[in-house]
Amino acid sequence: MLHGKIWDRLLMLALPLAATAMLQQLFNAADVAVVGRFVRGEDLAKAAMAAVGSNSPIVNLLVNFFVGISLGTNVLIAQFIGLGDHEDIRRAIQTSVVLSVLGGLVIGLGGQLLVLPLLSVMDVPEEVLPMSALYLRIYLAGMPVVLLYNFEAAIFRSAGDTRTPLLVLTSSGLLNVALNLFFVLGLKRTVDGVAVATVVSNAVSAAVLFALLCRGTGDVHIDLRSLRIDPASLRRILRIGLPAGVQGMVFSLSNICIQSSINSLNTVVMAGSSAAANLEAFCYSIMNSFGQACTTIVGQNCGAGKLDRCRRTLWVSLTFSALFYAASALLILGFGPSLLSLFNRDPAVIRFGMTRLRIIFLAYIFTVFVEVLSGYLRGFGMSTIPALCALVFICGTRILWVSLVFPRSPTYATLMAVYPVSLGLTAVILILGYFVLRKRLETYTLHIR
């Protein structure tokens, strides 16, 4: 990451990251598609589809917090690699693994008490509530392995290896689809079957990456005898990761507010929105992957004191993110009705799904800047500024929109319009913030050295 052309290093990191994120999204998309197409009874299939989709904001809220903290792992280890600090690399890795398992246990056990209150806050309809609660309880039980995989993947990314997590997730993704079909078609289960399939697949991914890290011989490996939390490493990981985790939670909190408004419409709207959300997530994965790749390259070069290379990484990341966004958006919109029909063939479901896709892809023009600029600042260890921007201009705007604008015109299109408004404001603020902070970033790089 410290030498040679930036664009090929960036693609080497970002494309496997994007493919990995898409495969992770397939876990949920496969759940929605299988229950939507193969659960017996049209009404039961729509309810099961709505139940799985209505859980997405809650699952993302819980997972994104610790995925954000795992970015602290990514940045810290990348900076230590740039500095050539082998002992601190080892301590950061051991701390990250223990932190992920403990965090997963806390969420998995404590979250069981909050299942019904959370679903009630989101106004999940009575006919969907039992299945929504069942899916969420099973998913929460698997949180230790879900978080362990994400922290392990962050460890590999910090060293520039995004290929290994991709290959592992490819195998477990295929397993997930096979188990979905086995439970729903073979055992005649509904949301409980697809939830168990998702947890088992994540467990396989986490176990394989753990074994590979234990067998590693370089700096990036796990020593079972040294698995403990190092206080200094924990403080550094949390200093960088907590704001990123808060930013991820803010996105999810705002989406929970929006999902609760979607739930107030009807089951058909819920189903269409759920199907479209799974498709749009593939496009978002690409933009997010360039933000994460930017974080890794900037983190290593920041540690090595190569500020000019950091700047060039920013502009290359923005260019590639915009190009890949445009290509994926055009592809999904062009085949939108056919893709949505994979989830459910009801024309009304497809119509509402296309409404969401058109508006969200307009908003994603701004997401290019939000993701890459956030990743750039995190590479320097500055994750508080993106988090504050997300809190004020994304979460704040969406809550106000749901409270003030949507009640005046309670339509699905009005609700979806909040996405371009909130993301546009955030992008403008982050662009201005970058130009204000350029000198401070140079000072910070010298401090790291």
Tens-digit pLDDT profile for residues 222-265: 888 878 898 988 998 888 888 878 877 777 777 778 878 887 88
**Interval 162-191: pLDDT, tens:** 888 888 988 888 898 888 889 888 888 878
Residues in the chain: 449
Alpha helices in 304-417 (DSSP H): 307-334, 336-341, 347-379, 384-389, 396-400, 412-416
Q: Which pLDDT value is given to residue 445?
A: 53
- Does residue 22 form part of some domain? yes
pLDDT confidence bin for 368, thresholds 50/70/90: very high
**Interval 112-127: pLDDT, tens:** 888 888 888 777 777 7
Q: Which pLDDT value is given to residue 46?
A: 74
Tokens of 396: 């704040």
CA distance 385 to 438: 13
Question: Is the pLDDT assigned to residue 36 strictly greater than 80?
Answer: no
- Does residue 351 form part of some domain? yes
Burial of residue 163, with CB atoms counted within 10 A of its CB: 0-12 exposed, 13-18 middle, 19 or more buried? middle
Residue 394 is given by DSSP the state: I
Q: Which pLDDT value is given to residue 31?
A: 73
Query: What mean pLDDT do residues 29-37 have?
Result: 74
- pLDDT > 70 fraction of the chain, expressed in percent and rounded: 95
Q: Are 158 and 220 in contact (CB under 8 A)?
A: yes
CA distance 397 to 51: 27
CA distance 278 to 285: 11
Q: Greater confidence, 44 or 329?
A: 329
Listed residue (139, 74, 145) closest to 103, CA to CA:
145
Query: What mean pLDDT do residues 83-102 have?
Result: 87
- Does residue 355 form part of some domain? yes
Q: Are 257 and 399 in contact (CB under 8 A)?
A: yes
CA distance 323 to 317: 10
| Candidate from 40-44, 184-188, 331-335, 383-387 with smallest mean pLDDT | 40-44
pLDDT confidence bin for 444, thresholds 50/70/90: low
CB atoms under 10 Å from CB of 24, counted, come to 25
Q: Which domain holds residue 114?
A: 6-448
Q: Which pLDDT value is given to residue 195?
A: 87
Listed residue (66, 70, 285) closest to 158, CA to CA:
70
Question: Is the pLDDT assigned to residue 420 strictly greater than 90?
Answer: yes
Question: Is the pLDDT assigned to residue 447 strictly greater than 70?
Answer: no
Residue 411 is given by DSSP the state: -
- Does residue 271 form part of some domain? yes
Question: Is the pLDDT assigned to residue 389 strictly greater than 90?
Answer: no
Listed residue (188, 164, 144, 142) closest to 48, CA to CA:
188
Question: Is the pLDDT assigned to residue 442 strictly greater than 70?
Answer: no
**Interval 308-353: pLDDT, tens:** 888 899 999 999 999 999 999 999 999 989 988 887 788 888 999 9
Q: Greater confidence, 348 or 62?
A: 348
Residue 436 is given by DSSP the state: H
Report how far apart, in Å, the C-alpha atoms of 41 and of each of 44, 50, 111, 145, 188 are.
Answer: 5, 14, 31, 33, 12
CA distance 302 to 409: 49
- Does residue 48 form part of some domain? yes
Query: What mean pLDDT do residues 22-38 have?
Result: 72
| Candidate from 132-141, 245-254, 326-335, 364-373 with smallest mean pLDDT | 245-254
Question: Is the pLDDT assigned to residue 406 strictly greater than 70?
Answer: yes
Report how far apart, in Å, the C-alpha atoms of 431 and of each of 189, 392, 427, 436 are.
Answer: 49, 15, 6, 9
- Does residue 368 form part of some domain? yes
Q: Are 258 and 414 in contact (CB under 8 A)?
A: no
Residue 220, SS3?
coil
pLDDT confidence bin for 443, thresholds 50/70/90: low
- Does residue 331 form part of some domain? yes
Alpha carbon distance, N-terminus to C-terminus of the chain: 17
Q: Output the CA angle 206-210-216, nearest 5 degrees.
A: 150
- Does residue 1 form part of some domain? no
Residue 40 is given by DSSP the state: S
CA distance 422 to 262: 18
Considering the chain, what is the average pLDDT of its residues? 85
The number of distinct structural domains making up the chain is 1
Question: Is the pLDDT assigned to residue 272 strictly greater than 80?
Answer: yes
